Amino acid sequence: MLRNTGVQLLPADIAEQIIAGNRVVLAQAITLAESQRPQDVTLAHQLITTLLPNTGKSVRIGITGVPGVGKSTFIEAFGTWLTSQQKKIAVLAVDPSSSKTKGSILGDKTRMEKLARNPNAFIRPTPTGNTLGGVANRTRETILLCEAAGFDVILVETVGVGQSETTVRNMVDFFLLLLLAGAGDELQGIKKGIMEMADAVVITKADGENKKAAALACANYQQALHLFNAADSGWQPKVLTSSATENTGIAETWQLVQDYMEHVQTTGYLEKYRQAQNRNWFYESIQTQLLQKIALSEKVNANLARFESEIMNNTLLPSEAARQLLTEVFRGSI
């Protein structure tokens, strides 16, 4: 590490720098954790293991919503307000679609400009490219690195597409869904599953002509949420309205997060929930690392073309080809 510095530091030295709040070293450590080179992975894991006693003290908040709902504007207002309350905040992103769409959620630097210049905020753009499902693992490791660096609140932003909400839900304490007040059926277009994951819903852009519609949507969603079964946490999800441009609903959102944290700390749910998330991370890692090993295996690559052609000629059953391939990969190694 930290390759581009040309200096070979030991994990313990790097850890010390991170704990001391050195942003440059933190950013480099995150890059290391994002790397797929086996030697980087080993070093990153050593580093984070060293830092483990310094992790776990932040409030981890997931924020989701469709593009255009106002996520970055809300995070800018919310984050700025939190820093005014003497909180240090980190903003991370999980964006599996970023390599394909222009919807890269933190890719362009023009977003959250004010927050980016705030000395008590740290914004980490989303990693791009395909990593065999590794994005989530890297974000989990980044959360731990940021916690060790002393950030009090970690915001993990995700676009409302595909599996990303579930992924983020599984790495945060509190999950916030941003919604627009819409015409017609308020629940149209919102997957019920996402609503069920939310600890709070914020109706955005509650200003100007939109204020009335936002208040109405707020009441409707509050009613809709009552219809769901109680969450495992025992927390009753709440709905708020907010205008990021007028700075309304921002302090209230934080109050809600604090109420929730107090609730889950008192009941012991938070500790159990984080343990369950770690267990889940372990099993997910087995799968991703297994797939990476297989993809990198010379035995696999040497045989793929032959298997493919036999499958396409209908002389080999696909499931049998997979069995033979994996038997070959793991011969004598498990």
Is 190:226 a contact under the CB 8 Å cutoff? no
Please identify which residue in 179, 243, 253, 254 interacts with ligand GDP, judged by CB under 6 A: 243
Binding window for ligand GDP (CB under 6 A); candidates: 45-53, 239-247, 312-320, 321-329: 239-247
CB closer to ligand GDP, 123 vs 244 = 244
Cβ distance to ligand GDP smaller for residue 107 or 150 = 107
Out of 15, 69, 136, 156, the residue judged to bind ligand GDP by CB under 6 A: 69
Of 237 and 249, which CB lies nearer to ligand GDP in the complex structure?
249
CB of 60 to ligand GDP, least distance (A): 20
For residue 104 the two structure tokens come to: 């890269």
Using CB under 6 A as the binding rule, whether residue 194 contacts ligand GDP is answered as: no
Residue of the chain from 53, 68, 193, 234 that contacts ligand GDP (CB under 6 A): 68
Q: Which stretch binds ligand GDP (CB under 6 A): 5-13, 130-138, 200-208, 220-228?
A: 200-208
Quick check: 67 binds ligand GDP (CB under 6 A)?
Answer: yes
CA neighbours within 13 Å on the CB side: how many for 49?
8
Three-state SS for 101-154 is CCCCCCCCCCCCHHHHCCCCEEECCCCCCCCCCCHHHHHHHHHHHHHHCCCCEE
| Only segment of 136-144, 222-230, 237-245, 261-269 that touches ligand GDP (CB under 6 A) | 237-245
Q: Nearest-5° angle of CA 290, CA 292, CA 298? A: 105
Binding ligand GDP (rule: CB under 6 A), the pick from 22, 55, 97, 245 is: 245
**Rounded Cα–Cα distance for residues 105 and 128 (Å):** 11
Residue 28's closest CA among 135, 149, 140, 150?
149
Taking the complex as a whole, the smallest distance from the CB of residue 68 to ligand GDP amounts, in Å, to 5
Site for ligand GDP in 70-129 (CB under 6 A): 70-73
Specify the stretch interacting with ligand GDP by CB under 6 A; choose among 2-10, 65-73, 180-188, 263-271. 65-73
Taking CB under 6 A as the criterion, the residue among 31, 126, 204, 241 binding ligand GDP is: 204
Length of the chain: 334
Half-sphere CA count of 309, side-chain side, radius 13 A: 3
Dig out the tokens for 168 from the structure: 């983020």
Alpha-carbon distance of 30 to 93, in angstroms, equals 13
Nearest to 145 by CA among 31, 29, 241: 29
**Candidates 79-87, 164-172, 224-232, 240-248 — which segment interacts with ligand GDP by CB under 6 A?**
240-248
Residue 135 CB-half CA count within 13 A: 23
Site residues (CB under 6 A) for ligand GDP? 65, 67-73, 204-205, 207, 243-245
